[in-house]
Amino acid sequence: MVNNEQQPLLITVDKLRKYYGEVKSVDDISLEIAQGQVLTLVGANGAGKTTFLNLLTGLVRPDRGEISLLGEKITRVSPDRRAKMGIVKTFQLEHLFEDMTVFDNVRTAWLSAAGKHYSLFKDIGDEKEINEKTDHLLDLFDLAEVKYTLVKNLGHGYKKVIDIAMCFAMKPKILLVDEPTSGVGEEEKYRIMNLLMEQIAVNNLASIIVEHDLHLVKELSKETIVMCDGEFIAIGTPEYVFSQDKVVEILVGKGF
């Protein structure tokens, strides 16, 4: 397994299990992720990828198993606290604050990251630092022109990028990205992925990126996990992983 030997361990997943009745969504998975390690996660629909990510963020509670962050067990920690601890996830389906502007969406993320939840008496226009950081992040992700547009009036591609930008406001240690390019046109796909990978590298974040587009994965990923029926069946470089018989079987059989 390709690993950054010199970087310390960030996340440890130990025999994590989540069954939905008979369906083995996540079946006793163990994994170690180092700081700065970037993984792509591929697999057919229903393989358990989103469930796995949701287990990491706390949106879903496991039936069994432990998750640790920097040595500390976080299996019982609530989603909002885990976000503060550095585990942040984008959403596969659209989950943004639709009736607010792009600026306000990102600004909310910054306010939350700064812990200003109970700040009642300050006028939001006076939060210079927050407003500046918001502008900065919007510039970084090429969102400056649509700053004051309501999110519900923007296209799918924009929304994906806004989602990612908001995650960066949280200063994550590990960024979980759930299908950043789904529903997006060919040209936009590369733009989004490059932007994403660049920011991940610049900030030395660990990351798990769920992707369906295998060409993208082969081109941009250094380390890939293939998931099937709740299990990790192959881990390694894309060349290695896609040459495995069992993986090819699934790719052909279940059809991406």
Partner 1 sequence: MNTRISMTIPSRCLNSTLKTTLALTTVAVVIPFLVGGYQRTLIQKGLLWIPAIFGVYILYSLLRQVHFGQSIFIGIGSYLTAFLAGKYDVTNELMILLPATLVISIVVAYVLGIFITKRTGFYFAVMGIAVTMVFWSLVYKARAVTGGSDGISHIKHPNLFTISLNDLGLYYVCLFVTVGMILLMLRILNSPFSLQLRAIAGDLDKAESIGIPVNGMLRLAFVIAGAYASITGVLLAFTYNYVSPSIFDWNYGANFVQSAIIGGVNSVAGPIVGAFCFINLEFFISTWFANLWEIVIGLTIATIVVTVGEEGVTGIAQTLFRKLGRKLRKAQESSDKHGK
Point out which residues bind partner 1 (CB under 8 A). Answer: 57, 59, 78-81, 83-84, 88-89, 91, 95-101, 103-105, 107-109, 111-113, 116-125, 127, 130-131, 134-135, 148, 166-167, 169-170
3-state SS, residue 200: helix
Question: What separation in angstroms does the CA of 84 have from each of 111, 138, 192?
Answer: 12, 21, 25
Contact 189, 158 (CB under 8 A): no
Residue 58 CB-half CA count within 13 A: 18
To partner 1, the closest distance from the beta carbon of 55 in angstroms equals 14
Residue at 3: amino acid letter: N
Angle between helices 156-169 and 128-140 (to 10 degrees): 130
Which of 147/218 has CB closer to partner 1? 147
CB atoms within 10 A of CB 102: 29
Which of 71/125 has CB closer to partner 1? 125
Which of 77/235 has CB closer to partner 1? 77
To partner 1, the closest distance from the beta carbon of 66 in angstroms equals 21
From the list 90, 95, 62, the residue with the least C-alpha distance to 77 is 62
Which of 49/89 has CB closer to partner 1? 89
Residue at 207: amino acid letter: S
Tokens of 1: 């397994």
To partner 1, the closest distance from the beta carbon of 242 in angstroms equals 31
To partner 1, the closest distance from the beta carbon of 211 in angstroms equals 20
Residue at 213: amino acid letter: D
Please state, in angstroms and rounded to a whole number, the distance separating the CA atoms of residues 143 and 155: 12
Which of 123/239 has CB closer to partner 1? 123
To partner 1, the closest distance from the beta carbon of 25 in angstroms equals 18
Which of 183/236 has CB closer to partner 1? 183
Which of 31/111 has CB closer to partner 1? 111
To partner 1, the closest distance from the beta carbon of 112 in angstroms equals 5
Q: Phi first, then psi: give them for residue 202, nearest 5 degrees.
A: -55, -40
Tokens of 2: 């390709």
Question: What separation in angstroms does the CA of 177 have from each of 20, 88, 129, 214?
Answer: 23, 9, 27, 16
To partner 1, the closest distance from the beta carbon of 179 in angstroms equals 15
